[in-house]
Structure 1
Amino acid sequence: MHDETPQLFTTALTPIALPLGAQPLADADPRPIQAVTIVDGATLTCPPDAVVLGVGVQSSAVLALVREAVRVRASAVVVGRAVDPGKAAAALAAEHGTTILRLADGVTWQRAATAIASLLQGVRRPVSGIQALDEVPDGDLYALADVICDLIDAPVTIEDRNTHVLAFSARQDEADFVRIDSILQRMRPHDYVETSMDAVLSSPIPVYLPASRTADGRDVMPRVAVAVRDGMHLFGTIWAVVPGPLPAEQERLLTEAARVAEHHLRQATAQEDTSYLEDRVSALLDGRADAPEAASSLGVGTPALVICVETSGSDVPAPAGDLAGYLTRLAWRNRICSALTMHLQGAGIPAVAASVAHRVYAIASLVQHAETEILAACTQFNGLVGTRTPVYVGLGRPALSVEDFRRSREDADVAARTLRHVGGPRRVASVSDLLVDSLFVELKGKVEAGERGPSGAYERLLAYDRNRGARLVETLCAWLDAFGDVTTAAGSCGVHPNTFRYRLMRVEEIGEVDLTDPEERFALNFQRRLFRAG
């Protein structure tokens, strides 16, 4: 590590002493750090000179992890603060020039990952001593807004120097029309700006703005605002809707948050304007005439593939008047977008991401990475962000030219939508692995749109079960799943084989179907799959 390493990094991780008699690699040059990756399975897939985060790795597994790290030429391995790597692992790491680091006391994995990300970007982060503030990922203004909201117990917006809203916290329902208009229009109303900005920008501490009334008679709730600056350079402002003046401790926390926000706003303003980025990505994904120009401006080359991220309600429109729900989903998509970009780039995969048409899309380069590596990175990402709200990640087929991005986007849409409709434990997949499932989802949509349901023998069996409380469909499904093996099928239903044979005979009688006919078996199994019974 170099002397210019950010303080947060050096306080988040501590080196593990070499065991007695172990020596570092002779004449070894300092190891660079090119990427950060999280352990996912027994085999590491990461670029050389990566920092490997052993999240959840126990003491007994450290030696195997170090062997993998040596194999892929990782720069360092990070283990939990309670983990004892053992003499063999420490000696192996020292022999090959791989450093073993341990989380410092009181440091979470998120904080360590954030620190390493800052190191990779060559950015020096301020340290506030307030854990929640220090753990906000670089440039994640939505996460910062939520943290500030929790610290001062008030809904928050973060704006740039031109009063454009960059991010907002939860609890929108507690605010007034000024806040709502600010979020929807991405800028505060002009008359409110004129009456409040001078006081905010001229003060080094948070300024309380009492309740007021607009010229058209609408009430404006009290606010506290603070400028975010570095010396004379203004980066933006933080606004909070409050019931009254902040207590001294909350004012102190907001002041400290503004100091930390300078770093995040600096990161954000160093990135491309969000609306411009969304327009350029849309041009590629929609196959517009300016797609080649968009690819050039984004630095996107081929081959590459499109990634689509959906949540459980991505394509469900908000009920009329459900502004809070709309804003919550908007904030969630923006945070997912930032997190996905950071994760792919942290894995060494060049990528650009944007929120487009109620979904998050990323374009990942295949120039130096295989599709399997991108799939593995997306699986890691899903494991990190999809623990509370289900997140479905679909990968399109590779785009070999700019014209292919539209097709790859359509594939990614199909893959993500199929994963969401099918359910089950799988949340990440390429469209090439979902051919049959996607066809069923598409066909089911057409059937439902035409208000059509089960028919023929399958419909008769469903009706009989519904009217008589019978289990003929269950019997049929068990028999089909057992490939006609009555003993196995009877066991799955918990009945005697003779009882099962009788029920199977009733299936043929009530359904008016011949189960020895392969075409009729196929039709029954097809409808059973299509309508999700059994």
Structure 2
Amino acid sequence: MSSSPPRARLGRILDDLGSTLVELVCGDADGSHRDIGGVVIYDPHDELELPQHALVLGVGVHDRAQIAGLLSQLGEHGASALLVRAPVRAEPVIKEASRRSGVALLGVAPGASWDQLAAMIRSLINDGDRGAAGKETLGGLPSGDLFALANAVSALVGAPVTIEDRGCRVLAFSGGQEETDPPRIATILGRQVPAHLARNLEENGVFQAIYRSRQPVYIDSLPVDESELSLPRAVMVVRAGDEVLGSIWAAVQSPLSEEQCEALCDAAKLVALHMMWLRTGSDVERRLRAGLVGTALEGGAAAAEAARRLGLAVRPSAVLAFALAAVPADEAQYIAERQQVLDALALHLGAVHPCAATALVGDVVYAVLPVPGDDDAAEDRALRIAADFCGRLGERLRVLAGVGPIALDGTALFRSRAGADRALRALREGRSGRTVARTSDVLSEILLLEMAALITEHGDTPAGPIARLRAYDAEHNTYLVTTLDAWLDAFGDIPAAASAIFVHPNTFRYRLRRLAEISGMDVGDPEARFAAMLQLRLWRRLRTAPA
């Protein structure tokens, strides 16, 4: 967990926006430990209603008396800061009003769009809301904190950087931008690469070169106008698998060193993770619905209310659990593919039943699918729908699907989820050869998996006759365990068992007598045979299980 302060505080917002966009005219930004409650555009003709600790955009507020009066007024409403268009001087009357009211005064750079500034601040506030309670981290930085990441990348390459999406829109930028050039300043103020520069880069094939390369691309100075050139740029594409998410642009003085290039390549992977995190968490309504699905699947006191809000309280439903058949080595690609499965499933089930709900919980994509009835036919319908979805994805996105038993109402969804999880776990082992299954379809696999887990938890090892045979084989280089295993698998058919391990039936009979003598096992006892078969299967599973 990150211990860094929430991003919604005034001092942190000033750090992220930097002197390129805003500057502190007077007031104490660092002394405020209050979270920003929202952004409001001031209108002198409307009654002033502010959220707690608001940032107020003083559009059209210029006169020093007006500024001082507004600071006093905002102090009565508990605002944190007033932003007015620069240049604005910290005259005594303004400084005194700021001190008395506790409201900081900020100057907004000429040319910066008020709408874009408001949107940027709101995005920073929303980041803080998502992470206020134990925000998760990626690469040691709060998830989705692209501004902090831009500053970290800037320190690694020794140059001011911007992080941009495929549409040349600025997602975040580092400090030190005032040391760059007019095109970079214009890009930050407009939050997008100016159209004539983007067109120049497109016509000269720069974007194509960037998106094809696996290494940073060095761009010589580009003409700003007839008399001025821009600084060179070092650009690194940001990918999630084969999908281009955006790019990192560093305003440099000369080509990067080998170490800096390597650092920029590594940084691009981390930027991809943060961009994917932002993409998957950007839809507020979807996140709310996903939270309700997760609560309903967990069971407990809150499950019934969550199911009611989802419209699933009194509907017989089945829980479906989906996971990628193979996990890509590239973590950003893994996140992207998992999100594609979630989006495709929501679309597919939306056509099947309008009340179907989907959510990503951990690394599993869950769906709650209303299915009329509570019999085997209802489970069969759920199985067919899951199989149809997996078939539609084809080889491009291979997924496995576990189908839980029918839950008669919202309070029983957790039991259906448990069944779907058990079936999915068996499918992930890959021993059944299936890609879609109910619990009953892979029950033997499930039982063996759960018994193997208990054995591992308790630290048990093979005992009794099997342990004696293993020890004898290890000491004498014999194959008595293999012989017993083949005999049990062949249900006592000696010719078939002998053929399976490529020995003569007479040799097999001799081995069978020897293993009975050495192990002390009564091969005629059905209980002894069952215990031996179970131990051999579990031992084989534990021996071949991944670490």
TM-score (norm 1): 0.50
| Deviation, structure 1 residue 244 | 8.2
Q: How does 1:187-202 map to 2 (within 5 A)?
A: 188-189=147-148, 192=172, 197-201=188-192
Deviation at 1:304, TM superposition (A): 0.8
Separation in 1 of the partners of 2:319 and 2:197?
A: 44
| 2:370 counterpart residue number | 365
Match of 1:185 in 2: 144
Kindly state the Cα deviation for residue 435 of structure 1 after the two structures are TM-superposed: 2.7
Distance 1:458 1:290, change over 3 A: same
Stretch moving more, 452-461 or 372-381: 372-381
Closer, same or farther in 2 for the Cα pair 1:327/1:238, shift >3 Å?
A: closer
CA distance in 1, matches of 2:334, 2:530: 42
Does the 8 Å contact 1:422/1:437 carry over to 2?
no
1:405-448 per-position Cα deviation (integer Å, ceiling 9, x unaligned): 11111111111112223524112111132333212211110101
Change in 2 beyond 3 A, CA 1:492/1:179: closer
> Which of residues 437, 442, 466 is equivalent to 2:445?
437
- Does the alignment pair 1:281 with 2:293? yes
Residue in structure 2 matched with residue 170 of structure 1 by the alignment: none
Is there any run of 5+ residues in structure 2 with no aligned partner, and where? 1-118, 127-136, 152-171, 178-186, 202-206, 208-217, 220-232, 239-243, 253-278
Task: Indicate how the Cα distance of structure 1 residues 309 and 186 shifts in structure 2: closer, same or farther if over 3 A, else same.
Answer: farther
CA distance in 2, matches of 1:513, 1:224: 66
Structure-1 separation of matches of 2:507 and 2:456: 36
Q: Bigger shift: 474-483 or 387-396? A: 387-396
Partner Cα separation in structure 1 for residue 391 and residue 536 of structure 2: 32
Report what 1:510 is aligned to. Answer: 518
Question: AA paired with 1:524?
Answer: A
The equivalent of 1:91 in structure 2 is none
User: Counterparts in 2 of 1:301-320, with a 5 A limit?
Assistant: 302-311=315-324
In 2 relative to 1, CA 481–222 (structure 1 residues): closer, same or farther, beyond 3 Å? closer
Q: 1:341 to 1:161 in 2, by over 3 A?
A: farther
Shift of 1:205: 6.9
CA distance in 1, matches of 2:339, 2:467: 45
**Aligned 8 A contact 1:305 1:363 in 2:** yes
Structure 1 379/455 Cα, relative in aligned 2: closer, same or farther at 3 Å? same
Q: Cα 1:221–1:510, aligned 2, differ >3 Å: closer, same or farther?
A: farther
Identity across matched positions, percent: 32
Aligned pairs for 1:333-412 within 5 A: 333-346=338-351, 351-367=356-372, 370-383=378-391, 385=393, 387=395, 391-412=399-420
Alignment of 1:125-164 (within 5 A): none
1:448-484 per-position Cα deviation (integer Å, ceiling 9, x unaligned): 1111121111112222223333221221122112211
Matched, 1:527 2:535: yes
**8 Å Cα contact 1:181-1:187 kept in structure 2:** no
Alpha-carbon distance in 2 for matches of 1:475, 1:388: 43
Q: How many residues align?
A: 316
Q: Which amino acid aligns with 2:460?
A: R
Deviation, structure 1 residue 494:
2.2
Q: Which has the higher contact order (CA 8 A, sep 6+)?
A: 1
Give 1:240's aligned residue: 247
CA distance in 2, matches of 1:478, 1:350: 51
Q: Identify if the C-alpha distance between structure 1 residues 186 and 405 changes in structure 2 by more than 3 Å, giving closer, same or farther.
A: farther
Larger radius of gyration: 2
Secondary structure class of the residue paired with 1:484: coil
How many angstroms apart in 1 are the aligned matches of 2:353 and 2:336? 26
Q: Check conservation: 2:296, 2:303, Cα contact below 8 A.
A: yes
Q: TM-score, normalised by structure 2?
A: 0.49
Contact 1:353 1:362 in 2 (8 A): yes
Q: 1:181 to 1:340 in 2, by over 3 A?
A: farther
Distance change >3 Å, CA 268–CA 521, structure 1 → 2: closer
SS at match of 2:319: strand
State the alpha-carbon separation in 2 of the partners of residues 352 and 373 from structure 1: 17
Which amino acid is the alignment partner of residue 431 of structure 1?
T
* Residues 386 and 520 (structure 1), Cα distance of their counterparts in 2 relative to 1, 3 Å cut: farther
CA deviation string 1:55-90 (max 9, x = no partner): xxxxxxxxxxxxxxxxxxxxxxxxxxxxxxxxxxxx
CA distance in 1, matches of 2:303, 2:414: 10
Partners of 1:394 and 1:477 in 2: CA distance: 31
Give distance in 2, aligned partners of 1:511 and 1:384. Answer: 53
Q: Secondary structure at the match of 2:408?
A: coil
- Please name the residue that 1:20 is paired with: none
The answer for the alignment partner of 1:112 in structure 2 is none
Who is 2:472 aligned against? 464
Gaps of 5+ in 1: 1-158, 167-177, 212-219, 226-236, 246-266, 319-323
Q: Deviations over 1:165-198 (max 9, x none)?
A: x9xxxxxxxxxxx997898226645994697553
Aligned to 2:407, the other structure's residue is in SS state coil
The separation in 2 between residues aligned to 1:408 and 1:181, in whole angstroms, is: 37
Report the Cα distance in structure 2 between the residues aligned to 1:222 and 1:289, rounded to whole angstroms.
52
Is 1:294 matched up with 2:285? no
2:472 maps to a residue whose letter is Y
Query: In the aligned structure 2, how far is the partner of 1:205 from the partner of 1:353?
Result: 43
User: Contact conserved, 1:179 with 1:188, CA < 8 A, in 2?
Assistant: no
For residue 378 of structure 1, report the CA deviation from its aligned partner. 1.9
Superposed displacement of residue 513, structure 1? 1.0
* Paired position in structure 2 for 1:426: 434
Change (3 A) 1:385 1:511: farther
1:491 aligned counterpart, secondary structure? helix
Distance 1:160 1:366 in 2: 44
Cα distance between partner residues in 2 of 1:438 and 1:381 = 24
Q: Report if the CA contact (8 A) 1:182-1:188 is conserved.
A: no
3-state secondary structure, aligned to 1:442 = helix
| Structure 2 residue matching 1:434: 3-state secondary structure | helix
2:483 counterpart of 1:483: no
Is 2:481 the counterpart of 1:473?
yes
